[in-house]
Amino acid sequence: MKGAKRFFINGFILATATVLMRAISVSFNAFVTKVLGEEAVGLFTLVMSVYSLAIIFATSSVNLATVRLTSAALAKLEAENAGESEIKRVLRKEICGCIKYSLFFSLLTSAVVFILAELIGTRILGDARTVLSVRVLSVSLPFISVGSAVSGYFTGVRKAYKNALISAIEQFIKIILITAGLVIIAPKGIEYACVAVVGGGAAGEALSIISDVAFYFTDKIRSNGNNKHSDEKRSALWRAAEIAFPVALGSYVRQSLVCAEHIAIPASLRKSGANSSDALASYGVLHGMVFPLIFFPSSILNSFSSLLVPEITACVATNDRPKAKRIAERVIKTCLIFSFAVSGAFVSFSSEFGISVYNSSEAGKYIAMIAPLIPVMYLDTSVDFVLKGLGEQVYTMGVNILDATLSLALVLILVPRFGLVGYIASVYLVELVNCALSLGRLIYVTDLKVKISWIIKPLISIMISCFTSRFLFSLSFITDIGYGIQLAFTFSLMIFFMRITGAITKSDVEYMKNTVKNS
């Protein structure tokens, strides 16, 4: 129970902080959307597609390398009962190698993006108003890369709560800087409004490195031993590259395809008949509003799932495959219960979410269209975390490359003919293929048995709960009740019916009670 206790505490703190930060982020994003308008949000989202690609090159999967090197080293050191000073020495050696790796790629990427900013903005993005934003974001890349390495260290040593604190500080700085930018330079036009949002976000991420360094140098390691640990013969830099670079190569390809897809969406919408402004606005609604809201609840699930990487890596390092299988089973079952509940809520209250968060009925319409796919999207992400812990990151990246290739092809084929409806259809097909391949690999490497009841029982429970809730609140004498109360009542019904149908078993409840009690 000690391991479960530590995992639950870290996960609870990280999930709470992440949900709070995501809530602030979504709320602030809604504020920015109302201030800038849908076209400016579309332009900003277009720039962020290039930013995401630049970050992939700058970090080159260093976070995964740091998590795996530190968690594996710590598991071996604890098994050998090594002393505190010895543990610190070994871990410092590992993270220094990872930081060297991150600096090489991030400085190179930063220089290239800055020099090619005009080419990227005018030729690739097709809008000269993005050039200044691209130059601004290039400066933050080395800071983001080093921060990613340090973040991996905290996850690897099971102190992910420090990442939550760092994220909170970063978010606070971003909000101040972006708000100041919107007041000072946004009135000059869409180009400067985009610079205000991009620049404020980039500066916040760059300044958060101060928190990373402070938390790292004040980190304490507990140990009762004093044994000498035999060092690895190969340098930490070389071992970090062995883990990260093969994954990074796949990430380069995948994110390049994703970036190409994002650039192709507005262009394809124009081919479908929309004018330039409307195409950019529609793209902004879907990727700047709908998807951030759809993925907001996943922050809870992903907070715990991300902590599974070091846990499962430790299982592999100590040759405890049965434990890894048990973890995988619990992850899938929990993910399905959670994601079906979220999906049901978004389907039932799509219009209310669109109006209350973004004051957009169009956003509500697209939320309703995407929401049924939530269980597939959430499950795919959680399974990917488990596979990375098992050392299957190369396979995962291969699937993601196939995902991005198929998605780009479908955008080019379907969107010019069917508009945004064609794009949503492509999202469904791609997500289903990706999840099937990832889950199939997990079943193969762990001999996992997925029970059909894990899907049927939550699905039936959610459908009954949502239908009952909407029927009750459609009655004339209670129609004035706010939809926040309706949503809370619906979730209460979901829990009730999932207990009735056995989607949530007595052993699940007892396990959670014991974990919380001991924590």
Per-residue confidence in pLDDT tens, the chain, 519 aa: 455 556 556 556 666 666 666 666 666 667 766 666 666 777 777 888 888 889 999 999 898 889 888 888 887 777 777 777 787 788 888 888 999 999 999 999 999 999 999 998 888 887 788 888 889 889 889 999 998 898 888 887 777 677 778 877 888 888 888 888 878 877 787 778 788 888 888 888 777 888 888 888 877 665 555 555 556 667 888 888 888 888 888 888 888 888 888 888 888 888 877 776 777 777 778 887 888 889 888 877 777 666 666 677 777 767 777 777 888 888 888 889 999 999 999 998 888 888 888 888 888 899 999 999 999 999 998 888 888 878 787 788 888 889 889 999 999 999 898 888 888 999 999 999 999 999 999 888 888 888 888 899 999 999 999 888 888 877 655 555 667 788 888 888 898 988 898 888 877 777 666 655 554
Q: Find, among 44, 33, 423, the residue nearest to 265 by Cα.
A: 423
Token pair 């594996």 in the structure block, residue? 72
Q: Find, among 345, 361, 362, the residue nearest to 420 by Cα.
A: 362
> Token pair for residue 172?
């606070």
Looking at residue 290, its amino acid is: V
CA distances from 356 to 37, 346, 347, 471 (A): 16, 13, 15, 21
- H helices of 37-83, in order, are 38-59, 62-79
Looking at residue 132, its amino acid is: L
Token pair 């991030």 in the structure block, residue? 106
Residue 6 has what pLDDT?
60
Q: Find, among 381, 196, 192, the residue nearest to 303 by Cα.
A: 381
What sign results for the dihedral spanned by CA atoms 382, 386, 389, 393?
negative
Name the phi and psi angles at 82, rounded to 5.
-70, 155
Residue 90 has what pLDDT?
82
For 436-444, which contacts have Cβ atoms below 8 Å and span 24 or more sequence positions? Answer: 437/399, 437/402, 438/380, 438/383, 438/384, 438/387, 438/396, 438/399, 439/332, 439/379, 439/380, 439/383, 441/387, 441/392, 441/395, 441/396, 441/399, 442/328, 442/383, 442/386, 442/387, 442/390
Residue 36 has what pLDDT?
66
